[in-house]
Amino acid sequence: MANIYEGRINMKPLTRKDVDDIVQWGRTLSDEEGTRLLDHFENHQSQLYNAIYGELSDTIAEDSVDMANLFLDLCFDIVLVYHRILGDAPQEPEDTRWLESKMALLDAEFKSLSPESPMESKLSSTLNDRFVQRCIDSGTPVALLNYLDDQVLHYASFNSARIPAISLTNNLLFVVVRLMDSIYEYQPEPLSH
């Protein structure tokens, strides 16, 4: 599969077969190759790596340790898909607030989608529209999101204690996918001389 660039990095539309093939390819990696891939990701995207293996998985673990472990496995699948389609993760911005600002924006957008949101309806509608448009513009891989959702539902079906963590797990997986979109889209400002 070739990298697709349209002015900025943009993932080509993936089919479910593409996602399944990439995940199966990932299963053939040796432990050393898998570790090398994650090490590269950690070295180039330490903020996101630390969020995945820290706060995000810990939040899920409060509801279900099993689902937190599944989240980590599926995050590896996400990294695999982006690596296979777009190449190695680029170097993260030096500004440590970059990831925080992306997560805050995603949080506001997620709240706009929630029917329980006390947000004023015009603001909620604007954020909701922005959320959908950003997903479309970034080329967020719907087939990947469907794969993740299927995996979460399948795994939860084996133990009713996992069911309460389905929504949180899916939401945080979606956050990781959107953040992956962002890191591959990020273009640092040119240095002035």
Domain ranges of the chain: 14-22+30-185
CA R_g for the chain:
17
Task: Name the pLDDT band for 124 (thresholds 50, 70, 90).
Answer: very low
Instruction: Please identify which residue in the block is written with the tokens 């891939």.
Output: 37
- What's the pLDDT score for residue 27? 94
- 21, exposed or middle or buried, with CB in 10 Å at 0-12, 13-18, 19+? middle
- pTM here is 0.78
Yes or no: say if 26 and 80 are a contact pair by the CB < 8 Å rule.
yes
Q: What is the mean pLDDT of residues 24-48?
A: 94
Work out the percent of the chain whose per-residue pLDDT is above 70: 71
pLDDT per residue as tens digits for the range 97-112: 777 777 776 666 555 5
- What's the pLDDT score for residue 120? 55
Q: What is the mean pLDDT of residues 122-150?
A: 68
